[in-house]
């Protein structure tokens, strides 16, 4: 087998054969990954999220390979490219960003696909973080039926009549101009920098950046009519992500974060076709076949090993991999075994049950005796002692009280806990009840919440008012004496 890591002396003499063999193996893996998990429908619009890095550039070239005419059984979907310019967050100067953009644009133009360049400094990008669930996920139905259904719905929508690749090319010119390449305005950059300056730790910064990036990709996909997004996460990267997500408190959403398909947004599905490639393979392939890629320094460039959880995990896994080459593949195989237990699609637990930022299921439902409740108790106990002003017995601040709020959505109780001195301002706690555990940690790390993009704050406000309306119809738990919980 002509894998790169095989120690064949033959590789030294015959340079041609392993190269061709390797290329076939590489291409085959991509198609096998797409073919095994049949989620891409023919004719569908797929957004390729390209960061300029080696993995995503490699993915781009694989898509080109697959869509080219002479490929046997060629892939059939309509690709578009998106690149998110994060220079404002990572402190790059305008010239550097422009230079990188120019390089990338030349790469994108060579592919003849639609491309969208979006800057992260647009804080006014409207995103309804919760308004997914419009399309039921295809659980259990066969692929053929799903394809038929897809073609039917597409016929019904008269928006994208029969977009073939040729039409895409002809539309390219208009799309390019309107493709979100609005000029970088200094105010937006400053707002973005202010946001990231208000976050204390690098871990939270990276987390926040990742979240904002996801939001932007999702927003672009929705507005431009893409139903699938391809991310270029490689095997090594996903192994690192798996471990660092556990450390960050995202264990509940591991399967969606690192699995092949990520259906949490409902109408847009994120797929990761590169998850079978180690970064070494990708590096070799790019080198051998001259895949153009552009390096954009990120937030954690040249940072210390211990600067953030993600960085530490990366160095840990990489170093371990050097001595034990099966590390990454073991982690990868383990992640393959993780499955999302699909929650029953109750219409009751709709938007309110999803985290505001990462749109995964909220894991902070305050049940009794959960680990989360234990951390809350520790937090309360370690903050202040003695009775607090505004303390109403039987509700907030007593260790037994958090279970009392589990029936309601925790909104009003959250406010009272806030007055109990847990958190300084009531709106902080309100935000916390809309977030999952790890997003809550990220937000807690911020010194000020106002720097958050407007769309997040307005969405939070919308949900809060929605909760308030709903809570009026729910039975008040304080009125009912709890047998086992009250003190």
Q: How far apart are CA 235 and CA 273, in angstroms?
A: 10
Least distance between other proteins and beta carbon 329 (Å): 15
Neighbouring residues of 237: CB distance < 8 A, sequence distance ≥ 6: 55, 279
Q: Which is nearer to other proteins, 107 or 359 (CB)?
A: 107
Q: How far apart are CA 142 and CA 153, in angstroms?
A: 17
Q: Which is nearer to other proteins, 65 or 281 (CB)?
A: 281
Q: Which is nearer to other proteins, 9 or 158 (CB)?
A: 9
**Residue ranges in 157-250 assigned as alpha helix (H):** 165-170, 172-178, 186-197, 202-224, 235-248
Residue with tokens 């590169």: 274
DSSP 406: G
Q: How far apart are CA 133 and CA 125, in angstroms?
A: 20
Least distance between other proteins and beta carbon 274 (Å): 13
Least distance between other proteins and beta carbon 284 (Å): 8
Q: Which is nearer to other proteins, 44 or 233 (CB)?
A: 233
34, HSE (Cβ side, Cα atoms, 13 Å): 25
Contacts to other proteins by CB under 8 A: 4-5, 7-9, 11-12, 15, 54, 103, 106-107, 236-237, 279-280, 282-284, 286-288, 290, 292-295, 297-303, 310-311, 314, 318-319, 321-322
Q: Which is nearer to other proteins, 292 or 400 (CB)?
A: 292
Q: Which is nearer to other proteins, 328 or 359 (CB)?
A: 328
Bridge-partner residues for 161, per DSSP?
none
194 dihedral zone (left: phi>0; alpha: psi -120 to 50; beta): alpha
Of the candidates 269, 280, 434, 281, which has an alpha carbon nearest to the alpha carbon of residue 351? 434
Least distance between other proteins and beta carbon 238 (Å): 13
Handedness of CA 152, 114, 132, 183 (dihedral sign): negative
Bridge-partner residues for 44, per DSSP?
77
Of the candidates 458, 451, 459, 455, which has an alpha carbon nearest to the alpha carbon of residue 192? 451
Least distance between other proteins and beta carbon 292 (Å): 5
Least distance between other proteins and beta carbon 255 (Å): 23
Least distance between other proteins and beta carbon 183 (Å): 24
Q: Which is nearer to other proteins, 227 or 236 (CB)?
A: 236
């Amino acid at each position: 087998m002509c894998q790169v890591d095989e120690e064949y002396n033959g590789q030294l003499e015959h340079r041609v054969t392993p190269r061709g063999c390797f290329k076939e193996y590489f291409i085959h893996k991509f198609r096998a990954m797409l073919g095994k998990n049949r989620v891409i429908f023919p004719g569908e619009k797929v957004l390729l999220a390209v960061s300029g890095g080696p993995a995503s550039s490699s993915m781009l070239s694989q898509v080109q390979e697959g869509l080219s005419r002479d490929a046997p059984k060629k892939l059939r979907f309509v690709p578009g490219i998106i690149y998110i310019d994060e220079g404002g967050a990572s402190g790059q100067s305008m010239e550097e960003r422009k230079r990188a953009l120019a390089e990338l644009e030349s790469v994108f133009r060579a592919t003849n696909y639609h491309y969208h360049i979006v800057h992260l400094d647009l804080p006014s990008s409207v995103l309804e973080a919760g308004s997914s669930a419009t399309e039921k996920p295809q659980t259990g139905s066969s692929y053929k039926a799903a394809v038929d259904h897809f073609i039917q719905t597409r016929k019904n929508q008269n928006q994208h009549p029969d977009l073939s690749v040729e039409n895409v090319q002809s539309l390219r010119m208009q799309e390019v101009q309107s493709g979100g390449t609005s000029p970088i305005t200094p105010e937006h950059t400053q707002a973005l920098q202010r946001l990231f300056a208000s976050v204390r730790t690098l871990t939270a910064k990276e987390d926040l950046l990742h979240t904002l990036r996801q939001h932007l990709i999702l927003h672009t996909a929705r507005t431009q009519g893409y139903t699938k997004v391809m991310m270029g996460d490689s095997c090594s990267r996903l192994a690192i992500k798996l471990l660092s997500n556990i450390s960050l408190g995202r264990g509940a959403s591991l399967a969606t974060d690192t699995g092949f398909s990520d259906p949490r947004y409902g109408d847009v599905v994120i797929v990761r076709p590169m998850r079978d490639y180690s970064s070494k393979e990708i590096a070799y392939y790019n080198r051998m076949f001259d895949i153009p890629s552009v390096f954009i320094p990120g937030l954690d460039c040249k940072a210390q090993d211990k600067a953030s959880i993600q960085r530490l995990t990366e160095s840990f896994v990489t170093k371990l991999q050097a001595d034990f080459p099966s590390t990454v593949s073991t982690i990868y195989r383990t992640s393959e075994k993780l499955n999302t237990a699909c929650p029953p699609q109750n219409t009751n637990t709709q938007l309110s049950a999803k985290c505001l930022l990462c749109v995964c299921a909220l894991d902070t439902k305050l049940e009794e005796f959960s680990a989360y409740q234990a951390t809350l108790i520790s937090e309360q106990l370690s903050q202040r002692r003695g009775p607090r002003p505004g303390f109403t017995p039987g509700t907030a601040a007593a260790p037994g009280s958090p279970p009392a709020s589990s029936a309601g959505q925790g909104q009003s109780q959250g406010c009272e806990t806030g007055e109990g001195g847990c958190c300084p301002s009531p709106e902080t706690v309100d935000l916390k009840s809309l977030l999952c555990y790890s997003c809550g940690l990220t937000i807690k790390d911020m010194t000020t919440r106002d720097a958050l993009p407007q769309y997040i704050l307005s969405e939070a406000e919308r949900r809060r008012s929605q909760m308030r309306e709903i809570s009026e119809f729910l039975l008040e738990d304080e009125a009912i004496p709890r047998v086992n919980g009250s003190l």
